Amino acid sequence: MNAFELAFNALMCRSVTDKIKLVNQLHTFKDQLNLNYQAKYPIISVKTPGRPEKPNLVRFQSIPKRDKSDLGFIKTIHAICHIEFNAINLALDAVYRFQDMPNGFYQDWIKVAFEESQHFQLLNNYLIELGYQYGDFDAHNGLWKMTHETDYDVLARMALVPRVLEARGLDATPKIQKRFENSNFKPMVGLLDIIFNDEIGHVKIGNTWYHTLCQQRSLDSIQTFDQLIQKHIGESLRGPFNIEARKLAGFSEKELNYLQAL
């Protein structure tokens, strides 16, 4: 089985249920050592990955600020569910696009895709329990934008998607959990615990490969990161950072000092 072809098919799949099935399959084939990581597959730029017709994608700014009503909380759950859906595609794109990496790279990102699909299902099932489902509210497209913009180099991708976007989730989750703690949606606290723990692992995978690539290219990891942030984001990262979680996720002492100095 060509790992890249299977990852591409899952990435482009527009049905939520079929995408989850394809990700499960890919994950099983990986565990059974049935994947070929040597055979190449045509690499195309993916402006729009496979996603269902709904949710409508809107500019980030045009999503109204969420209030403290029950509906506000449900919209927050939907927004996190959307992040997890995107995260499946982010991981699949990492598998598909960079076809000259060691096998361990693909195995790592297939595992991430699988865990993201589990997160998505946890949240979507909870939404269904509440009488809603994924697609019921508008959502934004920021995560894929950065993925698409970093499709020219695996080092830029590792620097900016897991280490910036996904790591932001580590910073934000404890605060979001606190809000859910005092709401009618307490089960979210437990769901976010599961997601948070897995997410530390995902950022760690990003850090491991980012550091490996910097070493291979004799690049300073902080300087390179700083240049990529300027190039793609144009301004310094904003804290506060969850230093404890980021430490667990493999940011070095130096990198944490760099973040805290911002």
Residues contributing to the site for Fe ion (CB under 5 A): 84, 87, 116, 119
Distance CA(161)–CA(260), nearest Å, equals 20
Q: Identify which of 32, 27, 38 has the alpha carbon closest to the alpha carbon of residue 113.
A: 27
CB of 108 to Fe ion, least distance (A): 14
Relative orientation angle of helices 16-31 and 103-129, to the nearest 10 degrees: 140
CB of 63 to Fe ion, least distance (A): 20
DSSP state of 140: E
| Closer residue to Fe ion in complex, CB, 84/171 | 84
CA distance readout (Å), 202 to 45, 208, 209, 245: 24, 10, 11, 12
CB of 250 to Fe ion, least distance (A): 17
Q: Residue 35 carries which side chain, given as an amino acid letter?
A: L
| Closer residue to Fe ion in complex, CB, 22/87 | 87
**Tokens linked to 81:** 């569910």
Whether 170 and 246 have beta carbons less than 8 Å apart is answered as yes
CB of 144 to Fe ion, least distance (A): 15
DSSP state of 66: P
| Closer residue to Fe ion in complex, CB, 87/139 | 87
CB of 176 to Fe ion, least distance (A): 13
Residue nearest to Fe ion (CB): 119
| Closer residue to Fe ion in complex, CB, 111/221 | 111
| Closer residue to Fe ion in complex, CB, 87/158 | 87
